[in-house]
Structure 1
Amino acid sequence: MARKWALRSILAYLLLGLFLYVYLFFLADSTLPETYKGSSADPATFMNNKEILLSEDFSKIKNLLFFLSTPYEWLFYFLILIFGVSRVFEKWARGTVKNGFLQTAIFLFWLSISSFVAIFPLQYISYKISKSYHISTQTFSMWMKDEITDFWVNYLLMFIIVSVLYALMKRFKQRWWLAAWALSVPFTIFMMFVQPVLIDPLYNDFYPLKDKALEEQILSLADRADIPADHVFEVDMSEKTNSLNAYVTGVGSNSRIVLWDTTLEKLTDKEILFVMAHEMAHYVEKHIYIGIGIYLVLSFFGLFLTAKLMRGIVANHSDDLKVSKVSNLSSLPLFLMITSMLLFTISPLSNWISRYQETRADRYAIEMTGDKESAISSFQKLSKVGLSQVNPPLLVKIFRYGHPTMLERLSMLEEYEAEKKKE
């Protein structure tokens, strides 16, 4: 039975991969509508022919990898369940130590190592593609260092989460999901608070912005936006990527304004001020707190559904999955598979909300700076340097884009200018 289900699941995954390949490389339409030909949104106005071709090829490959990676994760969890690997990990843990927390640590270590090894080929392919298209500038050793750091950070966080989660499952057999949801609220806020000062520095070096004249202009914008910031931080990303980015991170006293050094190198001061005004808009319009509120609602229903599905699946397929009880550690792959599926299912909604907030931030930035030319040129450079499609296919936009497409962002600026002329 296990072999039959394994073959079926692998075949389903391969058929999905074939469909996605045909869709992305042959059926999906990413051509620019005639209306926008010759406008600021037309790639031909800010890219040469080679760059346009590279952006199309790179985007198709990265989109394919994105759509393959999540179902691949589901396949991995399913296979280690039906072949009894998860149950073996649990037996090893129980046979090694008697302490429950140490059993969790051992079980999670073997599960994490297995997951790392299984997913590593896709991660490596993604790295090599980014490297070949000159997006990534990392050496293999630097990339591996980040991968290993990522492994241990995720392992420690997962150890905390899984230890608490399965303790709740044992204590509250029917309502564990409600207790888990209640505890997730302060934990999420705490993680947002410590992320800038404890986790981010593990990956990159942060230091005060060297250009003090530019820092003064950015802080002046922050003052106008009532953002309590005394410094702007620069992060050394040029050793890892050619991409551009800037952001406002953290909550409360740990809020930080951060610029990648690649952004400082490739954008003018006026373009940087527009980008920073956009990031400040998220603070001004309380998008972080709105995001927390949305998370609370979605996680409430998500955990409820996860508990209901786990209970039903284990009750009806315990022999097939080699899991006798929901509260057994061996059920963790089932929990992770279900939550991953639910997150993927609601990603169109969460991405739509994010795109709406990003559009609001774009509009706020243009109103604050009044500099349409710098806004347009900054978006064009972001698209050019990142080799991103100006008008991605609909399926890609729905599932991948937390920001408006470059076509939408640039056309919004044109429409804004037309509105101002009418006033």
Structure 2
Amino acid sequence: MLMTIVTVYSIYVLISIYVSIMQIGYINEVKNKEAVLLSPSEFLKAASYSVAKEKLSIFTTFFDYLFFIAWMSFGISYLSNNIFFENEAVLNIAIVMGFVIVNSILSLPVSYYEKFVLDAKYGFNKSSMGLWVKDTLISFVMTLIFGSLVVWGIYEIISSFTLWWLWSFLFIFAVVVLINMLYPAFRAMFFDKLTPLKDEELDAEIKSLMDKTGFKSSGVFVSDASKRDSRLNAYFGGFGKAKRVVLFDTLIEKLTTKELLAVLGHELGHFAHGDIYKNIALVGGMLFVMFGIFGNLPESLYLELGISQEPYLVMILLMLFMPVLGFIMMPVMGIVSRHNEYEADRMGSELGGAGGEVELANALKKLVEENKSFPLSHPLYVFFHYTHPPVMERLRELGVDI
């Protein structure tokens, strides 16, 4: 059984790297042709950035594979044999969080390189070293605290129920929903400074848009995201009365009012169509499959690993194999998500009134320019990685003459 798991992970790595290589080859081929949506110089710059990102992805995939082999060969047993607590719950929490801490430390060099070398080279990174260290430490502490609570919950479930995998799934699914509800508040508390939108005219127009779709929120806020990154973004977060609209200050700076309203109209389209609930249901389906598989592993696997079937081992195996199951599920989730994006584009253009599709198209073009998104991709890469349709296809659907 151990060999089967390693083989499946190896196949995932090979396919993942192959898809990245196909994407790199495709970009290198089309970047020397006529520029699309961007000026020739920006087209080449976006291509160079995409290729660099994909090379980094290959590097991290390969080293994650080495870490996977190391964990399966001796890493898990090392933690098991060198962490001691009399209390079983504390022991399980310590071993799982030890695994999480080691992985977090191993990922730091890649995180540093991506932000302070790659993103800095292409003009994205605005963060200082001090701010990055602060963000990393806050994330680390929050992971320790909330991660330990989640591990404790799963330990108690595994120890108490025969069908523990089903109850664990329900528990984790509830945690996912809770995170979606609390994310905006936690982000505002520890990372971004959120201030109410001061532009009264824009605020009134945004609230008018929300009224058209029945979207109720606790307010429209501006995030000081530019202190970390120059990319443009916006998000709607939370559920019920906790919902809020958050605009990056970079988005307000770069888009006109009509373009901004078109982008928000698109996001409101997701709300009107219940896409957030569809996405949560898809995540729930993936979690159900994961717990169903790892809740019914044969005892022979644990014998091959030389470790008894303890709750911490099940949790570590789940985390180790999560990228594989995510990669397998991504094409299905991507198909649904891309369909939802087209529908949201359609509604966003309608909410914008006459010429709404043009304003949305102009906003999409600016997002491509400012985020240095290469507008063309290999079909295989789109199939495995894209949650949004390629921007060229979105513009065609809006009836824009490219």
Which band: TM-score by shorter chain? Answer: 0.7 to 0.9
Correspondent of 1:117 among 96, 105, 123? 105
In structure 2, relative to structure 1, the CA distance for the partners of 1:19 and 1:282 (3 Å cut) is: closer
CA drift at 1:412: 1.1
Larger deviation: 352-361 or 67-76? 67-76
Report the residue type matching 1:23 in the other structure: M
Report the residue type matching 1:56 in the other structure: A
**Matching of residues 404-419 of structure 1 within 5 Å:** 404-414=389-399
In structure 2, relative to structure 1, the CA distance for the partners of 1:9 and 1:121 (3 Å cut) is: farther
Structure 1 residue aligned with 2:306: 322
For 2:274 and 2:13, how far apart are their aligned partners in 1? Answer: 43
CA drift at 1:188: 2.5
- Larger RCO (CA within 8 A; separation ≥ 6): 1
Runs of 4+ in 1 over 3 A off after TM superposition: 7-22, 27-32, 66-75, 317-320
Report the residue type matching 1:396 in the other structure: Y
* Contact in 2 for aligned 1:29/1:393 (Cα 8 Å): no
**Matching of residues 83-94 of structure 1 within 5 Å:** 83=74, 85-93=75-83
In structure 2, relative to structure 1, the CA distance for the partners of 1:184 and 1:307 (3 Å cut) is: same
**CA displacement, residues 215-259 of structure 1 (integer Å, 9 cap, x when unaligned):** 111011111111113521100011111111112111111001110
In structure 2, relative to structure 1, the CA distance for the partners of 1:194 and 1:297 (3 Å cut) is: same
* Contact in 2 for aligned 1:235/1:259 (Cα 8 Å): yes
* Contact in 2 for aligned 1:264/1:272 (Cα 8 Å): yes
* Contact in 2 for aligned 1:87/1:330 (Cα 8 Å): no
Is there any run of 5+ residues in structure 2 with no aligned partner, and where? none
Seq. identity, %: 23
Q: TM-score, normalised on structure 1? A: 0.84
Q: Is the counterpart of residue 219 in structure 1 residue 219 in structure 2?
A: no
In structure 2, relative to structure 1, the CA distance for the partners of 1:80 and 1:184 (3 Å cut) is: closer
Larger deviation: 224-233 or 316-325? 316-325
- Provide the aligned C-alpha RMSD in A: 3.1
The DSSP-based 3-state class of the residue aligned with 1:112 is helix
For 1:111 and 1:213, how far apart are their aligned partners in 2? Answer: 51
**Matching of residues 220-369 of structure 1 within 5 Å:** 220-229=208-217, 231-308=219-296, 311-312=297-298, 315-325=299-309, 327-369=310-352
Structure 2 residue aligned with 1:23: 22
**CA displacement, residues 136-180 of structure 1 (integer Å, 9 cap, x when unaligned):** 22122222322222222233332222222233223335x211111
CA drift at 1:27: 5.0
* Contact in 1 for aligned 2:197/2:222 (Cα 8 Å): yes
Q: Is the counterpart of residue 126 in structure 1 residue 110 in structure 2?
A: no
The DSSP-based 3-state class of the residue aligned with 1:414 is coil
**Matching of residues 8-47 of structure 1 within 5 Å:** 19=18, 22-27=21-26, 31=30, 43=36, 46-47=37-38
Q: TM-score, normalised on structure 2? A: 0.88
Correspondent of 2:137 among 126, 129, 148? 148
Structure 2 residue aligned with 1:63: 54
**CA displacement, residues 297-332 of structure 1 (integer Å, 9 cap, x when unaligned):** 332222112223xx23xx33435423221x242443
Is there any run of 5+ residues in structure 1 with no aligned partner, and where? 418-423
Report the residue type matching 2:250 in the other structure: T
For 2:278 and 2:12, how far apart are their aligned partners in 1? Answer: 36
* Contact in 2 for aligned 1:192/1:251 (Cα 8 Å): yes
Q: Is the counterpart of residue 168 in structure 1 residue 149 in structure 2?
A: no
* Contact in 1 for aligned 2:27/2:376 (Cα 8 Å): no
For 2:21 and 2:278, how far apart are their aligned partners in 1? Answer: 38
* Contact in 1 for aligned 2:265/2:351 (Cα 8 Å): yes
* Contact in 2 for aligned 1:9/1:75 (Cα 8 Å): no
Report the residue type matching 1:242 in the other structure: S
CA drift at 1:26: 2.7
For 1:8 and 1:355, how far apart are their aligned partners in 2? Answer: 31
CA drift at 1:106: 2.5
Structure 1 residue aligned with 2:358: 373
